[in-house]
């Protein structure tokens, strides 16, 4: 059974989500590389892919700064 979202996410919501995911990858991937959970090449590729998604959604540095404020207060 699936529940239907009453309102689909806005483009701004999607951009903010992509930026938060990018920030988490940048934070955790170095630890995962050290632990042998992911290779540096794979981590770099995954970060580049998420950055491309963010930019494809029209994300800018200004959006990034706003998302960071929302995330970190």
Q: What are the residue ranges spanned by the domains of the chain?
A: 11-72
pTM of the model as a whole: 0.73
Which of 6 and 24 is assigned the larger pLDDT? 24
Single out the residue of 53, 56, 50, 59 nearest to residue 27, CA to CA.
50
Which of 73 and 17 is assigned the larger pLDDT? 17
Q: How far is CA 39 from CA 27, 44, 53, 54, 59, in A?
A: 15, 9, 21, 23, 27
The whole-number pLDDT of residue 10 equals: 92
Strands (E) in 1-73, as ranges, are none
């Amino acid at each position: 059974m699936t529940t239907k979202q009453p309102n689909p996410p806005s483009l701004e919501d999607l951009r903010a989500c992509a930026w938060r995911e990018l920030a988490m990858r940048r934070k955790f991937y170095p630890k995962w590389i050290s632990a042998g959970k992911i290779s540096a090449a794979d981590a770099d590729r995954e970060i580049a892919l998420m950055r491309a998604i963010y930019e494809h959604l029209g994300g800018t540095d200004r959006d990034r700064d706003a998302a960071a404020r929302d995330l970190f207060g």
